[in-house]
A = this chain, B = another copy of it.
Amino acid sequence: MNKTLILIECKDEVGLVALISRVLANHNLNITAMREFVDETADRFFARIECSGNDFSEEELFTTLQSGLPQPAEVTINPNPEKRIMVLVTKEYHCLADILVRDLFNTLGGKVCCVAGNYDSLRPFTEKFDIPFHYVTHENKTKQEFEKELLQIAGSCQPDYIILAKFMRILSPEFVDQYKGRIINIHHSFLPAFVGASPYRQAFERGVKLIGATAHFVTSNLDEGPIIVQRIIPVNHTFGVSEMVKAGKEIEKAVLSRAMQLVFEDRVFITGNKTIIFE
């Protein structure tokens, strides 16, 4: 029996679960797992439904749900199970390596179509994995020129998601708008603590006892986008900035990896500046 995944986002209303489950039953679909949540502030209903059954028309089901649900509604049936991924990097290897290794062994939940870097130093490593590497320096260019080149590469790669794997340039609102809700960044602090530059130095100077990392969707406000995953590790007075950086890399890698997994499995919904995650 085939598995069908249905994602629903619509205005909240009394009786939605009954409505949806009746529609699914009418299409010979049996709910095997269902998660739903109402964001009361936004008056929005979100659901992720796994069904079994293959005796139904996807178009009919889509039309029935899309038109029957309180508007505005957004229905997705069987989203692409293997997302296309573009990775942006600067010089640090640890997140990129994690992505490329999983890509190679087919455990990423997506396929990397290309890597682009504003330095050329990660090219040899990337090419070991037979992934195209595009070197796009930001030097002697306006931000607009720099991003135009990146967008051209993205245009030929057609990624579902762009992953900022320690990409140390700030993207313009114009760039971000073109991939709204589809750019994921790893920030090397426990947001909202230590936004901006040198978070480990800030952490060292404040004398914190934990450091963290945050994977979030990128919006036009730096470090302000919807948070997907956060984790921390303990530190103590013996940690200088460089020890924090070193320990931080481990947690950055793990956090970004977990965020990608959740997003690529269509478990993450965005509502306003937050995420709903059906783990």
Contacts and interface: CB of A to CB of B under 8 A. Distances in A.
Contact of A193 (B37, B101, B192, B271): B192
A141 interface: no
Contacts of A137: none
12 contacts: A17-B31, A17-B34, A21-B21, A34-B34, A104-B125, A207-B275, A208-B227, A209-B227, A209-B230, A210-B231, A236-B277, A237-B276
A74 interface: no
A30 interface: yes
Question: Which 5 residue pairs across A and B have the least CB separation, nearest first?
Answer: A207-B274, A193-B193, A18-B25, A18-B21, A14-B30
A24 B15 CA distance: 9
Nearest to A268: B237
Interface in A173-203: 190-194
B18 A275 contact: no
A38 interface: yes
Interface in A188-235: 190-194, 206-210, 212, 226-232
Nearest to A276: B237
A131 interface: no
B230 A206 contact: no
Contacts of A14: 30
Contact of A17 (B21, B257, B277): B21
B37 A238 contact: yes
Given A18-B22, A250-B254, A276-B237, A206 B227 contact: yes
A113 interface: no
A49 to B, nearest CB: 9
A98 to B, nearest CB: 8
Contacts of A149: none
A152 interface: no
A33 B14 CA distance: 12
Contacts of A250: 254, 257
A114 to B, nearest CB: 19
